[in-house]
Structure 1
Amino acid sequence: MLVPAIVAVLLTLVGLRDLWQPLHSIQRNYPIIGHIRWFAELVRPELRQYLIEADEEAAPFSRAQRSLVYQRAKGLAGEHPFGTLLDVYRRGYEFIGHSTCPVPAADPETFRIKIGGEQCSKPYSASVFNISAMSFGSLSANAIRALNKGAKLGNFSHDTGEGSISPYHREHGGDIVWEVASGYFGCRDAEGRFDPDKFRIQAAAEQVRMIEIKLSQGAKPGHGGILPAAKVTQEIAETRGVPMGQDCISPPRHSAFSTPLELMAFITQLRTLSGGKPVGFKLCIGHPWEFMAIVKAMLASGVYPDFIVVDGAEGGTGAAPVEFSDHIGVPMREGLLFVHNVLTGAGIRDRIRLGAAGRIVSAFDIASVLAIGADWANAARGFMFALGCVQSLSCNTNRCPTGVATQDAVRQRAIDVPDKAERVRLFHANTLRALSDMLAAAGIAHPSDVGPHHLVRRVSATEVKQFSQLHTFLEPGVLLDGRCEDGFYNRNWELARAEAF
């Protein structure tokens, strides 16, 4: 009798509290049972993901996409029984045309490109599929270890993100693309300005293969960031070169340059300080005339970046304001096509390599960006899935259930580095194997041969069009000699000035 009595007393106290508390109207009108609503909200994401969500419903990645990564990361067979589950007659469905005379599948080890132009003395042979920018601080130490070891095992690159090069990036010696952002973490002075001497020391490491200047991030373009003082651990402070006990500020814009011409001078400076390694920049396209201004600065100065990575507004982050992630920035495909066209129209596309990042997980995703101008693709969340991420949408809480996006030492113990590094390697290898098989069926021997005429999109219930029919592709040099007939490109080219963004 004692237990029911205790339960009755506790429920009575909860009910009385509910009746008198001023914050929640439902609990005032429905004491005790009103708590069911809060419990349902608490478990809603899990119930939706595991019981209700359709296989192709993206939020932001579908169950089918996640399952594909898990299978390839574990080396499991990827056969599809009983035919496709996709509605091939829905608007937006995409496919690649196959050839009547397929070619033998190429060795994915040959799917590499040279990055580094005439002004670069240490070019890099990069895979066509690499790990996109994710910082130590956003990801756990074990996640960084596993990603970098997987990159080492699979011979592809690992972008550091703007949080600089941590000790965990260095442990296994995988190729690094060092991202230098507006906070200049790892190469800053006491006032947060760029420090050439610190940069030179870091960039001299053999493991650092390329330098990437971050102009903007797809998930929150034009927005800086703050890592609260409470989250600045001793490790993060040492890695980023910031003091303990203070907020770690990432400004929304660079202090080392303020015009396109100054950006070109900064590229030259970093290339010199790094000993001739490839230097480029990453951005999410915003105002079109601003990117065109950068291209005009290239032409005026004679300085060309070795590469450009186009990030899409669909890109991910641990946390971003809703309006920024939902309504600011150009989606990756439109941004990539625009950059490809401007470089082509300015007659300099052959000088600069293009990478693309934004919701890429499959071989078809890679082919679709290659078809509209990319030379290679980067993925962030795809490799997080390979580590075991379950898309719990708790990246900003420090309570990631799989230990990927947390600094909690107990939670990150869930990541067994050797096992997860092998899964990272397998995901990369099996994705490129799938790409090789798919391209072979289309009669294509190498990713560099993929063109917009190879891919097709359904535009209505009764019509499909090749990408070459859907999109505008400028001819080389038309922006320079006045032959461009596209009003959008002409108007924005006229607005662009090398002297100002």
Structure 2
Amino acid sequence: MARGIGKGLIGTGAAVAAVGAHDLLQRKHSVLRNYPVIGHMRYLLEGLRPELQQYFIERNWDGRPYNRDVRSVIYERAKGIHGELSFGTERDVHRAGYEHLVHSTTPLDPPDEPPRVRVGGPDCSRPYDMSLLNVSAMSFGALSANAILALNEGARRGGFAHDTGEGGLSDHHLERGGDLVWEIGSGYFGARTTDGEFDPDQFREQSAHEQVKCVSLKLSQGAKPGIGGVLPAAKVSPEIARVRGVPEGQKCVSPARHTAFSTPVELIEFIARMRELSGGKPTGFKLCVGSRRDVLAICKAIREVGTAPDFIIVDGSEGGTAAAPLEYEDHVGMPLTNGLMLVHNALVGTGIRDRIKVGASGKVATGNDIVRRLIQGADYTNAARAMMMAVGCIQAQRCHTGTCPVGVTTQDPRRARALDVGDKSARVHRYHEATVDQAVQMMATMGARQPEDLTPDMLRHNVSHEEVRSYAELYEWLAPGQLLAEPPRDWAADWQAASADRFLPSPGGVR
């Protein structure tokens, strides 16, 4: 009997060893590559998940109706799985705050190719045709080298742009040949002097790379507007120190504000200088909107200087993949809907909207997200969190610790190995393609051939259980040049107080 038990244990051990070896060698599941054998528990629980959810729904333990999980949509599209579900919507379509798109009785056929957005104003000599959906700013350092490689290879395959984030331009960004938006933050990483100032010579050299299609100046980000980014000392490896131009093994902190400019006029002049140094590539800035007066001050500066940024990326306070203090994540900055419509209307009202493209970033994940943001004033969208999920993120929320279990947000080579670049780049490509196709299909369903055909009356909002109103009715939409001629009463005080010579704080409070 003992001999039989011994043989059983040996057989079990051999089977476990075989499973472990298979897990280490396979390339589809990052969790199993880092956690062989025991990682299967995750997939077991994942398989039980629908039944567990139904168990809670029937008993109403969570106190609210079950909403279809957007994460599942992202994962399924990345894996090439069809996302159709039976039995209709699982949302409470009567609750206040619910929004829906208006379909046409005579829908159109979608175009053969998704529309693209030409970014580049009259002062830009090398315009770029932007996809409706792109990779939002996430830096090397925050993400692993393999994550950067997978995102960029996915962008190359799908013909969309990959924003580098403010952590500098690394070899991993350039290796696969995908289109890049090079982001420069207040630390000027990759284009900085030894004392942390902007270095025009380094900037000219780096921006000359063929893969760099646009240059973006980061004023603020949705996760933590008003404070700089932080990369813990443990993540500042020799390679990252070289890319960023900072000391190895020391905490890397971006200043809260820029030193290259301090007024709206100086901001616009600096952007014009960056465009010239880059050889005429589209140059713009990203911000999480704080106040209407600051946005109007920038618009006044554009008119005064006589040149404009080629694009403005509006980052919503609800977005952001970066680690940030809870108070900033929840209580600072304007949500994307409000900030996006404010920027759009300010540009229209000052007569400069036709010179500037507007990008939207903040929890963009599905086709309807893209369409909603286009209706609210955007020309294109960027996604960060969804792209991280497509590349393998399971939202373990250990990004800032360097111990990411799937190799996405770590600088530990052993952990990063779990992320297979070939497999995950294909997932990024599939997710992007399926999501853009769905957005274009939805526009055709609404009778729109191009994003320009979308209008605010096509998006409806439940004001209450009984009342539904369109965005055309709910919000004020300025006419071209209206602020220059006769500002509406609600805008007049802010227009009067905004100055091209100063940002807030200013006397009289803020709006």
Deviation at 1:406, TM superposition (A): 1.3
When the two structures are superposed, what TM-score results if normalisation uses the length of structure 2? 0.85
CA distance in 1, matches of 2:471, 2:420: 43
- Report the CA distance shift for 1:140/1:191 in structure 2 as closer, same or farther (over 3 A): same
CA distance in 2, matches of 1:442, 1:419: 35
Say whether the 8 Å CA contact 1:131–1:378 is kept in structure 2: yes
CA distance in 2, matches of 1:315, 1:156: 20
CA distance in 1, matches of 2:76, 2:232: 37
Deviation at 1:225, TM superposition (A): 2.9
CA distance in 1, matches of 2:489, 2:438: 37
The one-letter amino acid of 2:100's match is: F
What corresponds to 2:90 in structure 1? 85
1:309 and 2:310 equivalent?
A: no
What corresponds to 1:388 in structure 2? 392
Deviation at 1:446, TM superposition (A): 1.9
CA distance in 1, matches of 2:235, 2:408: 16
What corresponds to 2:70 in structure 1? 65
Deviation at 1:472, TM superposition (A): 1.1
Measured against aligned partners, the alpha-carbon deviations of 1:36-92 in whole angstroms (never above 9, x if no partner) come to xxxxxxx9xx99x9656989x9xxx97610000011111111212111111111111
CA distance in 1, matches of 2:291, 2:82: 45
Deviation at 1:404, TM superposition (A): 0.9
What corresponds to 1:413 in structure 2? 417
Quick one: which of 433, 436, 439 aligns to 2:440? 436
Task: Give secondary structure in 2 for the equivalent of 1:125.
Answer: strand
Task: Give secondary structure in 1 for the equivalent of 2:457.
Answer: coil
Task: Give secondary structure in 2 for the equivalent of 1:410.
Answer: helix
> What pairs with 1:116-135 in structure 2 (closer than 5 Å)?
116-135=120-139
Gaps of 5+ in 2: 1-41, 504-511
What corresponds to 1:75 in structure 2? 80
Quick one: which of 211, 226, 233 aligns to 2:230? 226
The one-letter amino acid of 1:486's match is: R
Gaps of 5+ in 1: 1-42
Say whether the 8 Å CA contact 1:186–1:239 is kept in structure 2: yes
Task: Give secondary structure in 2 for the equivalent of 1:270.
Answer: helix
Deviation at 1:231, TM superposition (A): 2.6
Quick one: which of 494, 498, 501 aligns to 1:499? 501
Say whether the 8 Å CA contact 1:99–1:441 is kept in structure 2: yes
Query: What RMSD in Å do the two structures reach over aligned CA positions?
Result: 2.0
What corresponds to 2:370 in structure 1? 366
What corresponds to 1:32 in structure 2? none
Write out the 4+ residue segments of structure 1 that deviate beyond 3 Å after TM superposition. Answer: 49-55
Quick one: which of 192, 216, 224 aligns to 1:188? 192
1:179 and 2:183 equivalent?
A: yes
What corresponds to 2:283 in structure 1? 279
Say whether the 8 Å CA contact 1:293–1:498 is kept in structure 2: yes
Say whether the 8 Å CA contact 1:312–1:333 is kept in structure 2: yes
- Report the CA distance shift for 1:269/1:389 in structure 2 as closer, same or farther (over 3 A): same
Measured against aligned partners, the alpha-carbon deviations of 1:93-139 in whole angstroms (never above 9, x if no partner) come to 111111111111123x3320100010000000110110000001111
- Percent of aligned positions that are identical: 53
CA distance in 2, matches of 1:405, 1:486: 48
Deviation at 1:168, TM superposition (A): 0.8
> What pairs with 1:429-468 in structure 2 (closer than 5 Å)?
429-468=433-472
The one-letter amino acid of 1:252's match is: A
Say whether the 8 Å CA contact 1:187–1:199 is kept in structure 2: yes
What corresponds to 2:116 in structure 1? 112
Task: Give secondary structure in 2 for the equivalent of 1:377.
Answer: strand
- Report the CA distance shift for 1:264/1:453 in structure 2 as closer, same or farther (over 3 A): same
CA distance in 2, matches of 1:86, 1:232: 44
Measured against aligned partners, the alpha-carbon deviations of 1:447-488 in whole angstroms (never above 9, x if no partner) come to 232111111111111121111111111111111112x2232x
What corresponds to 1:399 in structure 2? 403
Say whether the 8 Å CA contact 2:232–2:400 is kept in structure 1: no
Task: Give secondary structure in 2 for the equivalent of 1:414.
Answer: coil
- Report the CA distance shift for 1:227/1:372 in structure 2 as closer, same or farther (over 3 A): same
Say whether the 8 Å CA contact 2:68–2:90 is kept in structure 1: no
The one-letter amino acid of 2:154's match is: G
Task: Give secondary structure in 2 for the equivalent of 1:197.
Answer: helix
CA distance in 2, matches of 1:381, 1:62: 19
Deviation at 1:378, TM superposition (A): 0.4
> What pairs with 1:464-475 in structure 2 (closer than 5 Å)?
464-475=468-479
Deviation at 1:226, TM superposition (A): 3.1
CA distance in 2, matches of 1:397, 1:306: 37
Say whether the 8 Å CA contact 1:106–1:446 is kept in structure 2: no
CA distance in 1, matches of 2:117, 2:353: 15
The one-letter amino acid of 2:75's match is: Y
Say whether the 8 Å CA contact 1:261–1:297 is kept in structure 2: yes
1:356 and 2:346 equivalent?
A: no
Quick one: which of 484, 489, 494 aligns to 1:486? 489
Task: Give secondary structure in 1 for the equivalent of 2:301.
Answer: helix
Q: Which moved more, 1:441-450 or 1:212-221?
A: 441-450
Deviation at 1:245, TM superposition (A): 3.9
CA distance in 2, matches of 1:131, 1:357: 10
Task: Give secondary structure in 2 for the equivalent of 1:315.
Answer: coil
The one-letter amino acid of 1:112's match is: R
What corresponds to 1:98 in structure 2? 103
CA distance in 1, matches of 2:467, 2:67: 26
CA distance in 2, matches of 1:115, 1:337: 19
Deviation at 1:284, TM superposition (A): 0.4
Task: Give secondary structure in 2 for the equivalent of 1:382.
Answer: helix
CA distance in 1, matches of 2:266, 2:67: 42
CA distance in 1, matches of 2:67, 2:247: 41
Deviation at 1:247, TM superposition (A): 2.9
Say whether the 8 Å CA contact 2:67–2:90 is kept in structure 1: no
Say whether the 8 Å CA contact 2:182–2:212 is kept in structure 1: yes
